[in-house]
Amino acid sequence: MRKMFILTGVLALLLTSCREKQPKMTENVNPFFTEYTTPFQVPPFDQIKNDHFMPAFLEGMKQQMEEVNLIIRNQEPPSFANTIEALEYSGPLLQKVSDVFYNLTSSNTSDELQRIAREVAPIMSKHRDDINLNPQLFDRIRVVYQQRDSLGLDQEQYMLLENKYKDFVRGGANLNKEEQERFRRINEELSTLTLQFGDNLLKETNAFRLVIENRADLAGLPTSVIQAASDAAKAAGLPDKWVFTLDNPSRLPFLSYADNRDLRRELFLAYINKGNHNDSTDNKAIVSRIVDLRIERAHLLGYESHASFILEKNMAKEPKKVYELLDKLWQSASPAAAKEAETLQNRIKNEGSDFRLEPWDWWYYSEKIKKEKYNFDEEVLRSYFQLEDVISGVFMVANKLYGLRFTERADLPKYHPDAKAFEVQESDGSHVGILYMDFFPRESKRFGAWMNNYRDQYRQNGQPISPVVTIVTNFSKPTVDQPSLLSYDEMSTLFHEFGHALHGLLSDCTYPSLSGTSVPRDFVELPSQIMENWATEPEVLNMFARHYQTSQPIPTGLLESLKKSQYFNQGFTMVEYLAASYLDMDWHTLSSDPQTDVLRFEDNSMKHIGLIPEIVTRYRSTYFQHIFSGGYSAGYYSYIWAQVLDSDAFEAFRQTSLFDPATALSFRQNILEKGGTEDPMVLYKRFRGAEPGIEPLLKKKGMR
């Protein structure tokens, strides 16, 4: 989301010092200080150097301070235009450098970028607070807000005014001076701690390697997985060995196929103990401190808990409603998972073993049963999901739904050789935006998959500003013998992130802070998750899924096996996710210092819901980046909330056709284009005609 900043005298000294230290730039002019001359004004990655960031941050804050001061000193009565809009469009340089910097620290970081991030974090925190806690600025906003019903504002203007006023109140504008000083210190410390959490997690992930020297220990693994491990070993300077890491494309196949149970256990325990080694990258103390500070900040602002503070702006509105949803789903998911565990235990017994099913066994025996019961082999299916074909598939779906066209642009600068850039156009050839895609794991990239913007869509002075969107993933890399072949889950993930990208690309809003994905956290996953529905449809799979060697489509029998297996292991999948959602909510509904260690709190949380010992919560506290270093604190439930929405929404297409033009146009106009300009339930009901229920989701999961 767009952020606002202001510079103080202390920061001015920092700027002066920075200028004194910087050499005079002649040939290497700081590109942030000029208009980009690249096609579509995408960031000139080939020109941006690390030493450009801090001067641009500081100058950006300085310039925004001047713009904010102009608003404050304006002698005319406060109005929507001279106060709210002026504030909304302030700080373009700061936004420009922030968009590039924070994307790079996630997708292509370095020790130097992480050092800059640590240095700038408290400065930026202070800068945001200097805006939110400025009494003269808030006075002007309050005057406009009190007149809101008599100003003749349109819907988007009204929402912008509502958000600005509430953001200031939630940002501490109504606190007394002493409380505001404490509020500043809390925010500053939180900005540093959340950054450190993510840095520690990246180091922990990169530090672990399971090195296998004996080929016999590779028994059960598909040839492609063995080859990828060999390539990883060679890259690490370990010829004639095999290396497995904690990245999903390496870890999950090993857990699913490796016959060596001891090695499965070693890899699994390494994963679930990230950030939990009582060393320099341990995250337990950071988690505890973050929770304490969030509680204190919520109390300062008059909220019972951090969750109450966060959820006020979401569709759920209050913790009680989140727990009600989780409890309803848990009542169906937990018995289903227990039954699945019993089935796996029987499978172990039938092969002549007497050990108890453990979490590191679940993927392995699930894969065996799925293959036996449904004649369904994930590795066989992977052969039909060559990355380039899946990309073509999501492009074809977007074309059939919305008429969009995608053209790769080799002439656009890129931040890493792995990245690809595409121009997105309407069916008539008019420009929509630019889409970057970056697929493979590397040490400079954080774990997981995400979408973000290098530039938001908006309009200024009537002129359209087109979006620059990025999708970043950690998919299986090509090997010496074969191209990048995606698992079924990875294929679905690409559809998911592409749905986020469409939300950003098709936005049609005036104000940047309301455009695209700038919506409540429990609504933002609807556009992404509904796209996953197309990924499972045989009609869609037949459009793009071809065997990478023979170019043959997926055989009918394999499609039927896939369809029959869609309910398989859904208890595990939902329980694993719901457990993490409960953990998030339990941390953030605390109303006082928990006074307990992190692991004990986590154990108690899982015991309270009755999580069976054969399953571990999807994210344990020490590597729960979504909530301790991302934007999902008290919001991880959003994925399942959005699954309720997307399951219900996709019924509209099932009732017509997968690519029904009228339904697609309605979804585009009422959801994708609207951003955060209206209440999300209003938007949803305008598309669907009613509020959603949970029955379509439970039916899709095979629990009805």
Query: Known catalytic residues?
Result: 497
The residue ranges of DSSP E strands in 235-301, in sequence order, are 242-244
Q: Which tokens in the block code for residue 94?
A: 């700061």
Query: With contact defined as beta carbons under 8 Å apart, do 91 and 60 qualify?
Result: yes
Give just the sign of the alpha carbon dihedral 374, 378, 381, 383: negative
Write down the residue that tokens 């439970």 correspond to: 698
**One-letter identity of residue 241:** K
Q: How far apart are CA 186 and CA 297, in angstroms?
A: 7
Q: How far apart are CA 59 and CA 97, in angstroms?
A: 10
Write down the residue that tokens 């309605």 correspond to: 666
Q: Which residues contact 557 (CB under 8 A, 6 or more apart)?
A: 375
Query: With contact defined as beta carbons under 8 Å apart, do 275 and 281 qualify?
Result: yes
Coil, helix or strand at residue 454: strand
Q: At what angle do helices 488-505 and 387-402 cross, to 10 degrees?
A: 40
Query: With contact defined as beta carbons under 8 Å apart, do 160 and 514 qualify?
Result: yes
Q: How far apart are CA 46 and CA 377, in angstroms?
A: 43
Give just the sign of the alpha carbon dihedral 68, 72, 76, 80: positive
Residues across the chain: 704
HSE-up (13 A, CA, CB side) for residue 407: 13
Provide the pairing of β-strand 450-455 with 468-472.
antiparallel
Query: With contact defined as beta carbons under 8 Å apart, do 495 and 531 qualify?
Result: yes
Tell me the Cα Rg of the chain: 26
List the alpha helices (DSSP H) in 80-176: 86-88, 92-107, 111-132, 135-146, 155-170
Provide the pairing of β-strand 431-438 with 420-425.
antiparallel
3-class SS shares of the chain: helix, strand, coil, % to 5: 60, 5, 35
- Residue whose C-alpha is closest to residue 586's, from 577, 594, 576: 594
- Going edge to edge, which strands form the sheet with 420-425? 405-408, 420-425, 431-438, 468-472, 450-455
What secondary structure letter does DSSP report for 24?
A: P
- Residue whose C-alpha is closest to residue 589's, from 597, 601, 573, 600: 601
Longest dimension (CA), the chain: 85
Q: How far apart are CA 631 and CA 676, in angstroms?
A: 17
